[in-house]
Amino acid sequence: MTKSISYTQYVSPLGEMTLAGTKDGLCGAYFFDQRSFKGIKDWPRDDHNPHLVKAAKELSEYFAGKRDGFDVQLDLAVHGTAFQQSVWRALLNIEFGQTSTYGAHANSINKPLAVRAVGGAIGKNPISIIVPCHRVIGSNGALTGYDGGLDRKKYLLRLEGVL
């Protein structure tokens, strides 16, 4: 059984975003030009879904420098495989102002030989910013891969005081 997804639009300093949610939580936060975002499909617009309203409020506070974590309830089970979902859940352990590497992230989920698969899963993270895939960098410190674009990744890491 697939869950019913609704959406709303949110205008961030980095461009328009689509926030998607179910009755159980936020399941998507996509930049308008994010490569992996396949569009709203047949989702109804719902500017009153409490998870979407809370996500928009928390994102605004984050961009204003008034928030360093998110409390909005997430529904990570809507998208991806069990492996991808485990990678996304583990991203939540990377704290504001910190970074991790792809290798360290693979180790954190007890898959040290799966660095490429972990990187692929991170690249398909459906909840930008809130599930902080932007905090994962290359082992040499390089800002590699971000589905929303490297300029956005730089902006987010600067906002968090990492760069």
The percent helix, strand, coil of the chain (3-state, each to 5) is 35, 20, 50
Q: Helices (DSSP H) in the chain: which residue ranges?
A: 50-63, 82-91, 102-108, 115-123, 150-159
| Residue 133 among the catalytic residues | yes
Dihedral sign from CA coordinates of 137, 140, 142, 145:
negative
Complete DSSP assignment for 41-61: TTPPB-TT-HHHHHHHHHHHH
Instruction: Select from 79, 2, 88 the least CA-distant residue to 38.
Output: 79
- Catalytic residue of the set 14, 29, 133, 156: 133
Which are the catalytic amino acids? 133
